[in-house]
Structure 1
């Protein structure tokens, strides 16, 4: 495989966003007609969020993303070719990076204000894929922008990344369409496994960070299967956030972070509010996801 053939593949992948958007709208329409979607405005908020978050990518991607990637490639550590096994290695490294960045998105509060937007939906369907923060450009590019320094040509990444995103899109499909696939769970992030990730049930909190492979969650002990007797409740642990309100979805968590930082008694506490996990507070340390999970497991046992 050479640069010319890779460019041809990239050209074909450019239509993927349109295909994904079409799939979202079709599934959403079917779910509305069958009265399975309870919050019909959520899909509108998700798609509007997608359109707005695309603007900074459109305006800045060639400078901030593509330019940086080619600069890193010019100073690469290794000369990596286009052999088939290098494509596999590139995909694996990309997937691990997504796992790591995703973990940080749940573990650092100001990053959660960006990534948490994706979790605000209380119905699960393909439109949830479009539900992202308008500040997403400051987080998601780190999934892949560094790979050229290792020797992976940016064009390889521009093929790997949309293929991985397409797979990630399908993991958001509604449970009425695809149920559990227990035999696939051992290798891949299936829709069932990813539904757990979107749950606000205490026992499911902050589990299953992988995008394609479930191996990372198993290695780092963040894996949780969907339990037969624990119905998934989607969304985030927030009593005041309206998942059908664009302003709530995009800005409420930022407003609350600002209030906490402003009211923190010491400079050290102000910094901690920014970088500690969601749930932390300066008074008693707060209750974070692990404590909720441990208590839920104890109650089940």
Structure 2
């Protein structure tokens, strides 16, 4: 494959954003028609969030993303071709970067204030794909911006990223349309596996960070299959956040972070509120996701007939 062909495919791949938007609207309408969607306003807030977060991308993408990628490529470490196996390697490296950045989005609180917007939906369907932060421009591009330094041509990344995003869209499908495929999740992030990631059940917290492949979660011990006796409860562990309020969805996590930083007694504590995982506090260290999970598993082992944790 030559550069001209890659340019053509990269240009064509950019239209996947329109396809994703159409798919999520169609699914949402179908779910409303069959009376599955309980809160119609939640989907509207998700789509509004998509439009809001698109503004910074539209205004700054060529300057800050494309420009940076071509600059990095001009200083690349390796000279890589467009051979078929390089495409496979590029996709795997990209998918690992998504896994890593996604993991950081759950483990660093100021990043969680950006990524957590995506988790505020309390129903699972394709409109959740659109639910992103207005500040997402500072987070998600790290999935792919740095790859050209390794020798992957930016146009190669511009082909891979929309394909991966389309697969990620599929993983948000409502359980009304696709169930659990146990044999597929040995390699891939299936819709069932990704539903676990969107759960606020203590036993499911902070699991399944992959986008296309589940191998990274298995390697780093963050994989969790959907349990047959634990029904998924979607959203985040927050009693006051209204998933149908665009103000709450976009800014409440930031407001609470600012309050914690402002009231922290020392400079070190202020920094820790920014970089420690959600749930941390300066008083006793707080209660983090791993503690919730451990307690849930312990409770499960003591009460094996429990249906919902």
Q: Equivalent residues in 2 for 1:72-221 (5 A)?
A: 72-221=72-221
**How much does 1:11 deviate?**
2.3
Q: Give the whole-Å Cα distance in 2 for the aligned partners of 1:247 and 1:82.
A: 45
**How much does 1:247 deviate?**
0.3
Give deviations 1:243-294, integer Å, cap 9, x for gaps. 0000000000000000000111111111100100000011111100000000
Question: In the comparison of the two structures, how many residue pairs are matched?
Answer: 301
**How much does 1:16 deviate?**
1.2
Give deviations 1:168-227, integer Å, cap 9, x for gaps. 010000001000000001000000000000000000000000000000000000000000
Q: Give the whole-Å Cα distance in 2 for the aligned partners of 1:39 and 1:123.
A: 8
**Secondary structure of the equivalent of 1:247?**
helix
**Secondary structure of the equivalent of 1:182?**
coil
TM-score (norm 1): 0.99
Aligned structure 1 segments of 4 or more residues deviating by more than 2 angstroms: none
**How much does 1:111 deviate?**
0.1
Q: Give the whole-Å Cα distance in 2 for the aligned partners of 1:35 and 1:262.
A: 45
Q: Give the whole-Å Cα distance in 2 for the aligned partners of 1:75 and 1:268.
A: 37
Q: 2:17 matched to which residue of 1?
A: 17
Q: Equivalent residues in 2 for 1:267-282 (5 A)?
A: 267-282=267-282
Q: 1:261 matched to which residue of 2?
A: 261
**How much does 1:129 deviate?**
0.2
Q: 2:237 matched to which residue of 1?
A: 237
Q: 2:305 matched to which residue of 1?
A: none
Question: Where in structure 1 are there 5+ consecutive unaligned residues?
Answer: none
TM-score (norm 2): 0.97
Give deviations 1:51-104, integer Å, cap 9, x for gaps. 111111111000100000000000111110000000000000000000000000
